[in-house]
Structure formats: structure tokens, C-alpha cells
């Protein structure tokens, strides 16, 4: 850049999604959580937005990302931007397409995703594509989608159903008598719930209390055959923890090797972000009204999480620890002031997994992710000293990382897990 002013203008040169585009544009959504995002798509449809969840998740996504994003930047950014550009290259309606991306704020590299995306789009010749920024850090206002109470209620309902379906799918997929039956049951419910949400139904508490027990009953009656299997938990940076692109299809690899997996739900991360606002107020002060709103949101989300736990109570499936108890699991290992990235949540989730029988853990992290290396990998020794059965392996995910090496290290962890089962 010739000068600082030119650089600033370049980074802020974001083509916004305007309210008028709501009727004409299709919003492309990067893939991460399959079940949750299908329901989120239905929620956006019910608000009048046309959306499309991207399904291109092969190695070409990473290759394309490397062409437009420096390989030293955050690996999730490289994957997401690569997926966007790959999708745009094969479309013939570029004047009717928009992209959506989140921006968190803070010291995480995710703060820079928007200027990285805009720079990549300009380099690829797509500089006129509008971007919707779901801004959680108050960095820059986005137009087109308003984070109002109506949108929030639909978003929380999508998370509630998504977390439930993900949890039950992982509880049964390793033991199903008919291969694919658990996934078919998930799709049955996503179709049913998606249609309800599009009709502006299914999101209120009364609907959740009605349908969550029905979902649990359906999985309760799914034919399964229990067998000795390594119980493996997956934690880490939110994108590589959930996204098949970011973690080289880790879940499928573990299940294909006979493991039962447990992936903590999205409620934990959402509540973690809100809880950190409470800690910030205690440490640094701020507006009292913001504290009150945050407490209301936490209470709202915790009540929805409790509905899942109640629905699981009388089933054959063990439940999980509610967030308000789980958040204190990190005490004595790492303080709640360590909140950069996934921060203390990584430790709390690992302890909760170990206590619930999932002592074998894959800690996923983008290469060079300082918060994960400190708050995740950095506490492994302490956790193992407190829990002798802890069998944790930290896996770095990056464009230059060897998939064979990653899988061999996971296989070694599984071998130790099977030895412990025999003992």
C-alpha cells in the first residue's frame, strides 16, 4: 500500500448486504456443523432470506485457500475463504450472491477474517460480492441481517435441536445394527423440524418441550448392539473441532476405527462467550445494562440446555453436565481470566469428558493457534497428573500437515485406549 490511508480504505472497502438484497440474493454459508446449519438455514428462510449451505469439502478447498490466503494465517480462515472462492468459481449468478461470515473480536486471529476475505475476493476477481458480517465483537455494523430477539430465538432453537441430534447420533452411530440408520433418523428430524421452523413454528419453549423427548424416544428405539469400544472425546478450536474440512473428517475416521465419539455441543461455546463478558465486567467494569442483558441471555440459553438434559434423563443414554457446573471444572488448572480463543473452556470440556467416561481425547488445534497451544496443549500435563486415565493427543491441523501423520498419532491413542479396555 502507498500510505496508511489507502490501506485503511482498502480494508474497509466491504460491499455490504443491503435490506433490498434480501429478495434477490442467495446467501452462501460456509460449512461447519451439518445438523445445526441445516436448521439455521431453515431459520433464515423463515425470516425471508434465501440461503445455501456450501457442501464442497474436498482437498481443492484448501488448495484454493492457499492461492488467496497466506499460509501463516489461521487455518480455519484459509479453509473458509477457499470454500467461498471455490463455490463462486462455478456459479453463473454472481450478481445475485452474497457471503456470510462471523467476526468475534478480541485477540484471536478470527478478528481479521473479514479483511482477509475481502482481500482474497478482490484478488480472485469477486470484489463486488456482498458480505454479511455477523458481528459479535462490535467491530463494524453489518446491514441486512439484524440480531434481534426474533432472530435470536430461532438461532437458539436451531442450536437446541442441533446439539440434541448431534449428541444422540454420536451415541448410536458406532453401535447401530443397520449401517446409516442413525444418520437417517437425524435427517428425518431435520426435515420435520426444518419445515416447522420455515412455517414460524417449532422454536418456542412449548415446541422444544414437545419435540425433544420425541427425538430422544426415537433414538431410544433405534436398534443398536453394544460392544467394547474406545470412548473418544473431541475438543479444540471451534472450527477444526466441528468442521470436516478443518479436521480431515476426524469424526468419520474415529468411527471407522470402532470408537464411540463425544463432541461437546455448541451451547458450551455460546455460554462460554457470554460468561466471559461477566468476567470482563468484574475485572474491568463497564455498563451495567450490558451486564443485565448478558445475564438474561445466559439464563435463556441455560434453560434451553436444561430441556435437552431433562429429555435425556429417562432414556438409556447418559446425559452431559450443564454449563453452569461444567465451567468450574477448570478451577485449579487454569483461571477464567485465560479467555482468548477457546481459553479455559478447553480445560473444562476435557475434564467433563474424562468424568463422563471419555478419557481418550483428541485436542484439535490450528497450527500456530496460541490460545489453543497454551490453554489446551499447555494444560495436558496437569490434567494427566490429576486423572491417571487421561489419554490425550494434541493434533495440529494445517495446510502443510500430513494427514497420514495425524491419523497415525490418533491410531496410537486408540491402541492405548483398547489396551485400557482389556485391562
pLDDT in tens, 174-209: 999 999 999 999 999 999 999 999 999 999 999 999
pLDDT of residue 19: 78
pLDDT of residue 9: 45
pLDDT of residue 18: 80
When mean pLDDT is compared across 17-21, 166-170, 389-393, the lowest value belongs to 17-21
By three-state DSSP, how is residue 379 classified?
A: helix
Would you state the cell numbers that stand for residue 122, as one nine-digit string?
Answer: 478482490
Domains of the chain, by residue range, sit at 4-145, 230-264+320-422
Would you state the cell numbers that stand for residue 209, as one nine-digit string?
Answer: 418441550
Which top CATH class is 230-264+320-422? Answer: alpha beta
Buried b (16+ CB within 10 A) or exposed e, 322-333: bbeebbebbeeb
Share of the chain above pLDDT 90, in %: 69
Flag whether pLDDT at 379 surpasses 50: yes
Banded model confidence at residue 135, pLDDT cuts 50, 70, 90: low
Flag whether pLDDT at 414 surpasses 90: yes
User: Taking all residues of the chain, what is their mean pLDDT, rounded to a whole number?
Assistant: 89
- Residue where the block lists cell 452431559: 320
Helices of type H across 90-204: 113-124, 149-172, 181-198
CATH topology of domain 4-145: Rossmann fold (3.40.50)
Q: What is the dihedral of CA 119, 123, 126, 127, to 10 degrees?
A: 50
By three-state DSSP, how is residue 176 classified?
A: strand
pLDDT of residue 2: 47
Query: Which of 56, 136, 353 has the alpha carbon at shortest distance from 234?
Result: 353
Flag whether pLDDT at 59 surpasses 60: yes
- Residue where the block lists cell 448478558: 294
Flag whether pLDDT at 5 surpasses 50: no
Domains 4-145 and 230-264+320-422 fall in the same CATH topology: yes
Flag whether pLDDT at 143 surpasses 60: no
Amino acid at each position: 500500500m502507498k500510505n496508511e490511508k489507502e490501506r485503511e480504505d482498502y480494508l474497509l472497502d466491504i460491499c455490504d448486504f443491503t435490506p433490498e438484497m434480501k429478495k434477490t440474493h442467495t446467501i452462501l454459508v460456509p460449512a461447519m456443523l451439518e445438523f445445526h446449519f441445516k436448521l439455521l438455514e431453515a431459520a433464515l428462510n423463515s425470516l425471508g432470506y434465501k440461503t445455501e449451505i456450501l457442501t464442497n469439502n474436498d482437498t481443492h478447498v484448501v488448495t484454493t485457500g492457499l492461492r488467496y490466503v497466506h499460509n501463516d494465517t489461521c487455518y480455519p480462515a484459509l479453509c473458509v475463504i477457499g470454500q467461498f472462492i471455490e463455490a463462486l468459481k462455478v456459479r453463473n449468478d454472481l450478481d445475485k450472491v452474497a457471503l456470510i461470515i462471523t467476526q468475534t473480536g478480541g485477540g484471536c486471529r478470527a478478528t481479521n477474517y473479514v479483511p482477509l476475505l475481502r482481500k482474497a475476493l478482490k484478488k480472485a476477481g469477486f470484489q463486488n460480492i456482498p458480505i454479511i458480517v455477523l458481528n459479535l465483537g462490535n467491530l463494524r455494523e453489518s446491514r441486512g441481517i439484524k440480531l434481534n430477539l426474533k432472530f435470536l430465538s430461532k438461532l437458539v432453537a436451531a442450536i437446541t435441536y442441533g446439539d440434541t441430534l448431534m449428541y444422540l447420533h454420536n451415541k448410536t452411530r458406532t453401535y447401530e445394527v443397520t449401517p446409516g440408520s442413525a444418520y437417517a433418523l437425524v435427517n428425518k428430524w431435520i426435515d420435520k423440524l426444518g419445515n416447522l421452523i420455515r412455517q414460524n413454528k417449532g422454536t418456542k419453549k412449548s415446541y422444544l418441550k414437545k419435540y425433544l423427548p420425541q427425538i430422544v424416544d426415537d433414538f431410544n428405539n433405534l436398534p443398536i448392539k453394544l460392544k467394547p469400544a474406545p470412548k473418544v472425546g473431541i475438543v479444540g478450536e471451534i472450527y477444526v473441532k466441528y468442521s470436516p474440512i478443518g479436521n480431515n473428517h476426524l469424526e468419520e475416521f474415529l468411527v471407522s476405527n470402532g470408537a464411540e465419539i463425544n463432541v461437546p455441543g455448541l451451547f458450551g461455546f455460546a455460554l462460554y462467550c457470554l460468561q466471559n463478558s461477566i468476567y470482563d465486567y468484574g475485572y474491568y467494569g463497564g455498563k451495567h445494562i450490558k451486564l443485565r442483558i448478558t445475564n438474561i441471555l445466559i439464563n435463556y440459553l441455560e434453560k434451553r440446555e436444561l430441556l435437552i438434559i431433562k429429555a435425556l434423563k429417562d432414556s438409556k443414554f447418559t446425559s452431559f453436565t450443564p454449563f453452569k457446573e461444567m465451567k468450574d471444572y477448570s478451577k485449579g488448572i487454569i483461571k477464567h481470566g485465560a479467555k482468548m480463543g477457546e481459553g479455559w473452556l478447553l480445560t473444562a470440556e476435557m475434564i467433563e469428558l474424562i468424568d463422563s467416561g471419555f478419557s481418550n481425547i483428541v485436542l484439535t488445534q490450528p497450527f500456530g493457534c496460541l490460545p489453543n497451544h497454551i490453554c489446551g496443549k499447555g494444560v495436558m500435563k496437569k490434567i494427566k497428573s490429576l486423572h491417571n486415565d487421561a489419554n490425550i493427543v494434541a493434533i495440529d491441523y494445517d495446510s502443510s500437515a500430513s494427514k497420514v501423520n495425524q491419523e497415525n498419532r490418533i491410531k496410537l491413542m486408540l491402541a492405548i485406549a483398547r489396551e485400557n479396555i482389556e485391562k
